Chain A
């Protein structure tokens, strides 16, 4: 089992969610986050004075999938979230030791 964490542009969330549903991803956790990467935010002017928008709003998606679905999931997110411009985001993959469904006590792949 792997946990896939993707930081994407907020307006891409619906597209990514629909694409993942199509390939059989059952659930996800979504958080509104702020941050910066190599672009280091941007500078705007208000009444002639500068102000930094250092932390740009993004969406973080967390998904746990069985090993068989990992590559497909990553490809799908990459394809759906891509605009080709700076700030499209990143995907991180972690190993998951165990998953427990609280209601039934199921463990492993069947708990995902």
Chain B
């Protein structure tokens, strides 16, 4: 434990010094071209001049300010989704691991924020000569050069997306992963795995230029870039870990391990649905009328996904399963994310409904056929429905679908799987042989709350169950 603390301290010290060095290098460059600086100031009149006479406010300035406000409000909504993920995950798992799940969801955002500031953002949106990854803009060095506060608004919106991809994995690896290992994973995914793929599809939104976006790949708000990437890393993690003790009987038949708090999981889904109104409409990063249609598409797909999952679970299991129906809402949301700006509302209903059915079939298939234990259905919700949504963005394209558009969509889906699953699997295998990926069977049976954190979530509330199932 002492070793881990010293490793963390060393990491932060390195990040801090590197940041200072970068900032100083950039400062040296900045003040030299004085005439250039005045020229850019004139070109951007939104900066209030310190003189007594204020220039009249132009329509452009109002638009610019509105863009800032909308992008940041949307970023704050997406941040709230972290709470949603935490509630869904803990609701679908047992009380003995609730503290551990809160800590993982808190820490992947904290670790991810710093990693994305230091490294991730530069790789995702820095100047990309090859189209494979960006190479500048680390530690906000662009701001030192350009003095444009848009960088901050844009970064804030992007960092909450990076954190969303990171936190998806937590659910699939719940109830058995070593906390220290998860911390390292959080930093690596936000610094490298997520941003590299992000640069392929979204680099052009800032300074980059990715190979996939050059081909015309459509992923407006991240069915693939955020959700599939998270989902496929989650699959790699769940495979590398193995199932929870007691999940599969001796005959290999899956056994239910009921979650401890369905109301909390439902609260999480409501929070995520709410946050998605920032996730998709916010991805315009501009205060423009498009956000109305995007919000409608988002809501309709979520509603249709919920109903799809309700119907199929009612037919398959004889009763409408609450946790599957909740997954259905998320499935619809994930699926509409890619095409929310380029499909019509009717298409949103159809693709959301299909996602709701798909998620239930996928949860059962992954468990019964692949024998992979994903306690919250993260692989099905984010990986499978993310891929479906990306394909659907091509199929239901309002301006007509062509084989070429669909081909590029499929290429993006396959590239995301290969990149995220492979790098994720290598990362988890490396963690396995170094820090160790999984807790001891004794700790798993007693609960990670005691073993990893030394306290329990509900000390006055119920008898602490130490039995496996």
- B-binding residues in A (CB < 8 A): 44-51
Q: Which residues of A contact B254 (CB under 8 A)?
A: 49
Cα A56 to Cα B257 with chains together (Å): 18
Q: Are A46 and B321 touching (Cβ within 8 A)? A: yes
Selected contact of A48 from candidates B257, B258, B324, CB within 8 Å: B324
B435 within 8 A of A: no
Give Cα distance in the complex from A98 to B256, angstroms.
49
Q: Contact between B377 and A45 (Cβ–Cβ < 8 Å)? A: no
A65 CA / B88 CA spacing, docked (Å): 53
A48 CA / B364 CA spacing, docked (Å): 6
B316 at the interface (CB under 8 A from A): yes
Q: How many A-B residue pairs have CB under 8 A?
A: 38
Contact yes or no, B317 A48, CB < 8 A:
yes
CA distance A49 to B259 in the complex (A): 13
**CA of A50 to CA of B367 in the docked complex: distance in angstroms?**
12
**Does B258 lie within 8 Å of A45, measured CB to CB?**
no
Tell me the B218-246 residues at the A interface (CB within 8 Å).
none
Judge whether B2 is part of the interface by a CB distance below 8 angstroms: no
Smallest CB–CB gap between A44 and chain B, Å? 8
Tell me whether A49 and B367 are in contact (CB under 8 A). Answer: yes
Contacts of A44 in B (CB 8 A): 256
4 nearest interchain CB pairs? Answer: A51-B256, A46-B256, A49-B256, A48-B364
**Band of interface residues on B:** 10 to 19
Residue numbers of B with Cβ under 8 A of A are: 254-258, 313, 316-319, 321, 323-324, 360, 363-364, 367-368, 377
The CA-CA distance from A66 to B368 in the complex, in Å, is: 59
What is the chain A residue whose CB lies nearest that of B248?
A49
CB distance from B463 to the nearest CB of A (A): 12
B363 contacts A47, CB within 8 Å? yes
Check if B324 sits within 8 Å of A51, measured CB to CB: no
Pick the residue among A45, A49, A50, A51 that contacts B319 (CB under 8 A). Answer: A45
Question: Which residues of B have CB within 8 Å of A49?
Answer: 254-256, 367
Task: Give Cα A63–Cα B441 distance, bound, in whole angstroms.
Answer: 45
A46:B367 contact, CB within 8 angstroms: no
Please measure, in the bound complex, the distance between the C-alpha atom of A10 and the C-alpha atom of B323, giving whole angstroms: 27
Query: Is A51 in contact with B321, judged by CB distance below 8 angstroms?
Result: no
Expressed in whole angstroms, the Cα–Cα distance for A51 and B367 within the complex equals: 15
**Cα distance A51–B254 when bound, in Å?**
9
Closest CB of chain B to A72's CB: distance in Å?
38
With contacts A45-B317, A45-B319, A46-B321 known, is A51 near B255, CB below 8 A? yes
Given contacts A48-B360, A48-B368, A51-B255, 6 further A-B contacts (CB under 8 A): A46-B256, A47-B323, A47-B367, A48-B316, A48-B321, A49-B256
Expressed in whole angstroms, the Cα–Cα distance for A46 and B321 within the complex equals: 7
Whole-angstrom CA separation of A51 from B257 in the bound complex: 8
Q: Within the assembled complex, what's the spacing in Å between the Cα atoms of A65 and B363?
A: 57
Out of B256, B257, B368, name the residue touching A45 (CB < 8 Å).
B256
Complex alpha-carbon distance, A47 and B323, angstroms:
7
Residues of A within 8 Å of B256, CB to CB, are 44-47, 49-51
Question: For residue B323, which residues in chain A have a CB less than 8 angstroms away from its CB?
Answer: 46-47
Separation of A48 and B256 alpha carbons in the complex (Å): 8
**A109 to B61 alpha-carbon distance, docked (Å):** 94
A48: B residues at CB distance < 8 A: 313, 316-317, 321, 324, 360, 363-364, 367-368
Decide: B255 and A47 in contact? CB cutoff 8 A.
no
